[in-house]
Structure formats: structure tokens, C-alpha cells
Amino acid sequence: MTNFYPKKQTLKDNLTPRKETVHFILSFSRAYQVNRIDGVQYELLLN
Amino acid sequence: MYMQNLTDAQLVKRYISGDESALEFIIKKHQHKILAFIISKVYDRDVAEDIFQDTFVKVIKTLKGGKYNEEGKFLPWVIRISHNLVIDHFRRNQRMPKFEAKDREFDILEFLSDGTRNAESSMIKEQIHSDLAKMIQLLPDDQREVLVMRLYKDLSFKEIAEVTEVSINTALGRMRYALINLRKLVDQNQIVLTE
């Protein structure tokens, strides 16, 4: 019998962030550094 | 992998001490709940992805900046950050969220259905979802918030209490009144919620 309805997406399919989103977060995390010099906090974003 | 056995507090500690892989594990562990929370507020997949991303940028900055002090309450803390970002989003766009997705790309009510169904059953179910969504929209904000978090986002009452910054008893009370009021609304509007 022909199925006229597209395959239903599961909750898991829809609630998983895109790979690019997670990749950006992890890349940002690796690049983001915080240094403190003489009590002053400096934020750095490394290449 | 042994990280599976670590608590959130232990994973956060590892991340702060320089283990970047702990962050990936934290994201995988909580991504469904956090994204579900955001989507249920904004009803737009692309906007939700942006807010999810911004949420973790704030998480990273806070953790690496040594400002995190909510040990043991990591998930509610992250959800509170995303909640604030959702509010910022609506302030920027100066509009309130709508309950139904505009483009039907994502409709959390769709997940209540099961298996294959014929066209008639599908239409009836859509009507029920639509009626129910309208009734939920009529609930007071605090009751609607608890009901959506509990039923559609699968948060525990403990988590709801922490996110909304009320006691568990208050969250339970709001859920009770939400269900009572929902029943009244269904009766008043003579809506049939069965197939």
C-alpha cells in the first residue's frame, strides 16, 4: 500500500541541534580564553 | 566512555580545568531539553538554533571567567540563560510568541501522535491539536508556562521550580490549576478532545 504521508520525524530528530551549531560552540570554546593580569580580566579569542 | 558516569558538576569542573571534551559531553547530554525549551518558546527552528548557540557562548564565558557558582544546578542555570535570551529575542522583535508554528516546520504538538494514520484520523487529530493549543493559549501565563514545560518539554517539577524561580509546591499548584482551568475551558467551548 502506498504511504501518502512522509516519514514522521521523531522527537530526537527535531530536538538535536544542527552539527554546525554544535561545531561553532565547540570552536568558540577552544578559541575563547580568559587571562587575568594584576587582577584585571582579559578576554581573548584565539585564531 | 567514563564521562558518562560523571555528574554535571564533575563535568563542569573538568571543563573549567581545561578538558574541552567535557563541554561536548555536556552539550550532548542536555541538548534535547535545552533545544525543546527554546523551540517551545520561539516556534522557529532557525531562531532556536541561534539562541541555543548564544546560550552556550554565555555558558562558556561564565565558566571560563570563573563566575559559575551554581554547583549541582547546571541544567536549570543553562535553561535560565536561554530563557533570558528568548526574552531578549522577543524584546528585539517586539512581539509575543505564538503558540502554533507559522510554517509548520516544527510543531511540538505533532509529537503527541503515534504511528501511521488515515486522512480522516489525521484531520481530526489536527483539529484536536489546534483546539487544545487555543485553549492552552487562554490560560494565565504562569499556569501555561508550567503546563508547557511539564507536558511538552518533559521537565521535572524540580526543574520547572528552579527555572521559574518558585517552590516545587507552587509549580505543582500551577499545574493543578492549569489542568482545572483547561477542563473548564474545554467544557465552556464545547470542544471534543477525543477521536
Phi-psi region of B156 (alpha: psi -120 to 50; beta: other; left: phi over 0): beta
- A22 pLDDT exceeds 80? yes
- pLDDT tens, B28-82? 999 999 998 898 888 888 999 999 999 999 999 999 998 888 666 899 899 999 9
Cβ atoms of residues B51 and B86 within 8 Å: yes
Give the distance from CA B87 to its chain's centroid: 14
Q: What span, in angstroms and rounded, lies between the C-alpha atoms of B176 and B181? A: 9
- pLDDT tens, B13-27? 999 999 999 999 999
In chain A, the residue whose alpha carbon lies closest to the alpha carbon of B28 is: A16
Question: Would the CB atoms of A5 and B52 count as touching at under 8 Å?
Answer: no
Q: Is the pTM of the predicted complex or chain greater than 0.80?
A: no
β-pair partners for A41? A36
Q: Write out the three cell numbers for B80.
A: 535560565
DSSP string, B26-37: HHHHHHHHHHHH
- A37 pLDDT exceeds 80? yes
3 state DSSP class of B112: helix
- pLDDT tens, B81-92? 999 999 888 888
Question: Would the CB atoms of A26 and B122 count as touching at under 8 Å?
Answer: no
In chain A, the residue whose alpha carbon lies closest to the alpha carbon of B108 is: A11
Using CB atoms, pick whichever of B24, B52, B57 lies closest to residue A17: B52
ipTM score of complex: 0.73
Residue A36: phi, psi to the nearest 5? -120, 125
Cell 504538538 sits at which residue?
Answer: B109
Helices vs. strands in chain A: H and E counts, helices first: 2, 2
Interface of A with B in 15-34 (CB under 8 A): 15-18, 21-22, 24-26, 28-30, 32-34
Q: Which amino acid is at B112?
A: L
Give the distance from CA B138 to its chain's centroid: 19
Q: How far is B72 from chain A (nearest CA, A)?
A: 22
